[in-house]
Chain A
């Protein structure tokens, strides 16, 4: 490039040393050599060797042609990894660039902008591995450990109280079946009879304070009576009211006739319930489902359904700071008079943002976006750490698959190298784009 700009320069003396340095490639060579050697050893050699290695088998001795590539594109695990990489590339960089833009523009207006940006930039200072462990805990399923589920359970329980006896159910052999509305008796009872319902599946030490010893109520000809108790004790007989077995207080019981609820009752401390004024006839007895609904435990974030979005969300948390920093720097370089002119012409802030700021920023946005794409394609640690073993296949990405194939699963470095080459080919266009861009900016 320099030669074209200086056609009038003095000609080098034949055989001698060029008096004007920087013109002769021969003279430049010794200066470039150290860098070239390092580049060749650390970049070029591994690159070429990976390419060659990808045509050889597991042991590295037998030539298999494109066999490894065929293996790779027929392996469902690699295909899942491809699919996930596509999701990553489509979603993650766009979201991060967008968030970065919004935060950068907003923070420009506030007084403590630097402090604010510093906070948002902080996640970048944590290693990806450590961030992964943090998010692994954040999304843990057990609300006692995972903060996301702790919050969702807390909010959920504000609106609907948890049931008193989750998981309890009538013992086998008792004439009750599970229905949508609750456990319903398969036989019917007339007033004057007594219903005994032994339940199991609830810890005796978690019964309410007031619960007292259960006993069968005396029969009264006009009333339908019964008892519901926790049929669990050491040495107790299933279905029998053994010593020390207590009633379940506060349980909602319904008497049902022809599908209609004819009466409602609540059990007392000894587990007894009474329907005092039922008309003559046959009733089935129902223990309302609300007594037993399992507590809301939040969502299985780290299950196969949500795993990729969850990992992407943690990457967004980490990388947004990076985007903000670059975009804010770009923002500072925008000529103020363009913005002022637009405002003077009566543009609203929204219009200024869309019509002036974003177009002027677009080169920066593009660089940030492309850099993020490259970063996303080689994502590894987050997936490795956050996804539990049981869903690692569903969360798999190319870089992780490459590592697993090469070192994890019996060390097939042939297929591993093939994956590395594919990954390189995917990253290459984005890199070329960035390089060309930098060059154009310089010239």
Chain B
């Protein structure tokens, strides 16, 4: 029961912080109960994000007295984590962006099922879809702490003003605005095709809208093959855009040489060559760090357009906290991460979206983030996790192979839908068959 008291004290303390806006936490009666205990956390965040996440962890340290050590693993997190697990020195908590990896680790018995308190918090604060994403074999293993809204198209207000365009709501309007942009000598969109994951995100957004969430779930599990007519239809829709070299900056060949950060600079840099770029909310941070454009003024975003009257739907990504040990300090850290209190700390610092609907809108740093979160929370159960992150890494996460390469080949030759679906299916069959 001691634990419950601590949580209560923690919640009260944090409540006090937000109420008075001060930065210090008055320790509660029981708050130093975990002093001397060490919790190791492995996460993907480096640089600025690391500093911000460490502030979240500081909050936990302050209120419990436990010591938290954060190890940044960057993009190599799956490798680092697997090696640690195999070597018999797992961290206490890991933040994993690939549900497929969580499933694998859960299946191997490396993960602990979360405590009932955590499960209660997850149910209470999130849409049902997030709980399902962390559930394997009927047991909840993961808590989504940070998420990404991958259904946003960012546009240059200058380019839109030059043609008097409004943010399009449907795919037809989107193409129409694109053609109007082409008249002014710019390309409609810049595509970062040298990075395969941008293309999987394009495909997933189109597929979620043309084929619907149910088919999306089936395709994600490879219950329907990639040669299914629904995949074909999605690729044909995407081909309406990719197939017109005037709409895509540099045409397909040029896009394949463009990496994601460059695709953002192409739209918002000093010499803009395109009007729109599609990717997740983190486009905003690239704009801020690499260009002079101001997010919210020069750079705005709209929802990925609806196709054929499809409902609001969001393709999301996210980092799931899982626990590999079940000592008291670890369990309490998981509770902290599942509660709105942890997210609130980072939300205030910016560059953070949470699927936790109990974090009030005014906790976020700016209007753009508020709008991004609103879309994510509003879409409710129409949120789908990034399909390529759900697939085995050999298919959905390898540079120059699997889905990445198949879609890059499609971008190079968007008319050949047949070849694309064949290749996707053969790669998927190989990766899922293992």
Contacts and interface: CB of A to CB of B under 8 A. Distances in A.
Interface of A: 58, 77, 141, 144, 167-168, 171, 200-204, 206, 231-232, 234-235, 300, 302-303, 387-393, 396, 404, 407-412
Contacts of B164: 234-235
Contacts of A203: 184-186
B344 interface: no
Q: Which of B182, B271, B394, B401 has the most CB of A within 10 A?
A: B401
A387 B256 CA distance: 11
Nearest to A408: B398
Interface of B: 78-79, 82, 161-164, 182-186, 193-196, 246, 253-254, 256-257, 259, 271, 392-394, 397-402, 404-405, 408, 412, 431, 434
Contact of A303 (B82, B253, B271, B405): B253
Given A390-B408, A409-B401, A410-B431, A141 B182 contact: no
A141 B185 contact: no
A167 B254 CA distance: 15
Contacts of B82: 411
Contact of A392 (B161, B184, B399): B399
A204 B184 contact: yes
A404 B79 CA distance: 11
Contact of A234 (B162, B194, B394, B412): B162
20 contacts: A77-B401, A168-B185, A200-B184, A202-B185, A206-B185, A234-B162, A302-B257, A303-B253, A388-B257, A389-B259, A390-B196, A390-B257, A390-B400, A393-B405, A408-B393, A409-B394, A409-B397, A410-B392, A410-B431, A410-B434
A201 B400 CA distance: 34
A128 B185 CA distance: 40
A144 B78 CA distance: 37
Contacts of A201: 182-185, 246
B246 A390 contact: no
- Identify whether the interface residues of A are mostly helix, strand, loop, or mixed: loop
B426 to A, nearest CB: 10
A388 B257 CA distance: 7
B257 A411 contact: no
A283 B270 CA distance: 45
A144 B266 CA distance: 12
Given A390-B196, A408-B393, A409-B401, A300 B184 contact: no
Contacts of B400: 387, 389-393, 396, 404
Given A389-B399, A390-B196, A232 B259 contact: no
Given A206-B185, A303-B257, A408-B393, A389 B408 contact: yes
A141 B249 CA distance: 13
A409 B98 CA distance: 13
B401 A390 contact: no
Contacts of A58: 434
Contact of A390 (B79, B184, B194, B397): B194
A410 B405 CA distance: 16
Contacts of A144: 271
A293 B137 CA distance: 61
Given A234-B163, A390-B257, A411 B401 contact: no
Contacts of A387: 400
B206 to A, nearest CB: 20
A393 B257 CA distance: 14
A141 B401 contact: no
A387 B163 CA distance: 38
Given A234-B163, A300-B253, A393-B405, A410 B394 contact: yes
Nearest to B78: A411
Contacts of A204: 162, 184-185
Nearest to B405: A393
A204 B185 CA distance: 8
Contacts of B246: 167, 201
Contacts of A168: 185
